[in-house]
Each structure stands twice: as C-alpha cells, then as structure tokens.
Amino acid sequence: MPAHSIDHAFMANRNTGRSSDPTYAGALSFMRRRYTKSLKGTDAVVWGIPFDAAVTNRSGARFGPQAIRRASAIFDCDPQYPFHLDLFDQLGVIDYGDCLLDSGNHQKTPGAIEREASKILKSGAFLLTLGGDHFVTWPVLKAHAAIHGPLAMVQFDAHQDTWPDDGKRIDHGSFVARAVREGVIDPDRSIQIGIRTHAPDTFGIKILYGHEVEEMRASDIAYAIAERTGGKKTYVTFDIDCLDPAYAPGTGTPVAGGPSTAKILSVLRQMTQIDIVGADVVEVAPAYDHADITAIAGATVAMHYLGLLAEKKARETA
C-alpha cells in the first residue's frame, strides 16, 4: 500500500519529495509534481504551452503538454534511470500548469508567452517548457536572453527552422533565423543535431546532419556539443521530430532517417558539462501517436533535463 495519500499533484505540501501515486491513477501533473503558481522554494518549473497555430503540416501539438504529462506517470517513485538517484530528494520542482492564450488572436501569443516566461525566470528557477509547436521556443528564448544575454543553442531537430522571416510571422519554421538576426542566440556557439532537410541559410550554426549522427557515437555527439557551446550559457530545444518516425510517429512533420530514442537519450545523459539555463520539448502531437511512443519519448527527454539538474545540485551540496 502507498505510504501517503493519492493525488500528490494536489496533496503535496512541498516541492521536494517523491510521490506514491500508482502509475495508473492519480492527478497527472508532470512526474506527479505539485501543481502551484507559487515559485517560492523552487529549483525548476515545468510549464506547458498548448499552441500549434504555427505549424506548416499537421496540427495537434497543442495537446502535447497533456500527452507528455500523462506519459510521465510511468516514472514512479523509484530512483530514475540512468541517474541512480531520486530526482526530487533535493531538487524542488513544480508543475506550473499551462500558459493561457487567446485562441482567436494569435498575434498576442508571443507577448503572452514571453511575459509569463519572464515572470517565472525572475524567480531564479530553471524553466522546462512543454510544447506546443516549435514557434513557442521563440518567445521563451527571448525571455532567457533578456536575463543571460545572447545564448548558445543546442537544437535537436529534423529541420533547421531558418526559413525567411519578416519578424512578425507566427511560423514554427523560422524562429531560429529570427533569433540570430535579433541577437537572441549566438550562431557561433550554436549547434543543430539530426537535421534531415535543407533550408536556404544556416546562419553559421554548426549542423550535424542525420546521416552524420547515424555514423557517430553518442559520446562523440556530446563532445561536439560541448566543444561548440564552449562553456557559454545554453538553451536546449528538443523538437521530437529529431527522432526517426519509428520512435516518434506522433508529430506534425515527421522525417525519415533519424536517430533512435536510445541514442539521443545517451547524448543528453552525457551533456553534464553544458551550462544549460533553460530547455524545452516541443512538437509532440498525440493524435498521430501509437501506444504513447512519442509522448513517452518526450517525457523521457524532459526527465533527463531534470536528472542533469538534480545531479548538478547534488554535486554542489555534497
């Protein structure tokens, strides 16, 4: 029998500590974290942005935050693989819920996202965002850059997202071009992993194409990321279509020839030397998923971000 009451997401009275909810029941926050808008005593905030009006192919990523939260229930109260520790023993994490957006006025969306992200970041907490389509990364990046200055960016993706942009478009395929032009990211310290399409301009960002990733070891990919970011404060954005459709069918713009979930998780696990100041998982579209394959992959990527944070805090407090 569980040692505590069910529905940890509502019943918890602190931001640390494990849940005892059974995998198949209970309130579905991300990894059963406490639902709250209070940022006091918080190391990391999980926040959903249910927006997909910027897609150029199949819509449905607005349901991504729900799907990722649901899939995260598979992470029970045991120490999380491959980190060998209870992530929430010392790391205070909350689920902040979702961003409220006006579905009838998309031009207000970027400002609404940026304002809410800025509010969270002012608390000093790490922000882990669940998308939504990849456009949502743009205002979140702006909020981070307002604090840290131009960021290194690590982008796991099948697409470069550097298509022409007039600075006003609501488009998930051009946010990187805008981020470079407006000085939000430093292209000389940025890298894209898993690219399997061509765009008109690279903007000087280093690319590891899908066929190169296939031939490389995970450790070599992690080394290339560390070398490129060079110790600079880094934002990590993970478009789930970085993975081959065999491992992530539930996405709006799938591209064949991508890496496996296992390989990319191994890369993330080895990113211990990267100064990650913010991260996201985007483009999970559960309507096209099978048996939660994609949602589980997205939830596991998000869990790895928290695992790296928990390890870092454990080292600092040892």
**Structure tokens, 184:** 């939000």
234 contacts: CB under 8 Å, gap ≥ 6 = 151, 152, 153, 154, 189, 274, 275, 276, 277
Cβ-Cβ contacts under 8 Å for 194 (sequence gap 6 or more)? 156, 157, 158, 208, 209, 210, 213, 242, 243, 258, 259, 264
**Is 21 annotated for ligand binding?**
no
Compute CA 58 distance to the chain's CA centroid, rounded to the nearest angstrom: 20
Strand ranges across the sheet with 93-98: 34-35, 93-98, 44-49, 126-131, 276-282, 234-239, 152-156, 191-195, 206-209
Any binding-site annotation on 241? yes
The alpha carbon dihedral of 166, 169, 173, 176 has a sign of positive
- 86 annotated ligand-binding residue: no
Task: Tell me whether residue 159 is annotated as binding.
Answer: yes
* 211 assigned ligand-binding residue: no
Q: Say which residues have a Cβ less than 8 Å from residue 57's Cβ, sequence separation at least 6.
A: 252, 253
Q: Does the annotation list 239 as a binding residue?
A: yes
Binding site listing for Mn(2+): 134, 157, 159, 161, 239, 241
Binding site listing: 134, 157, 159, 161, 239, 241
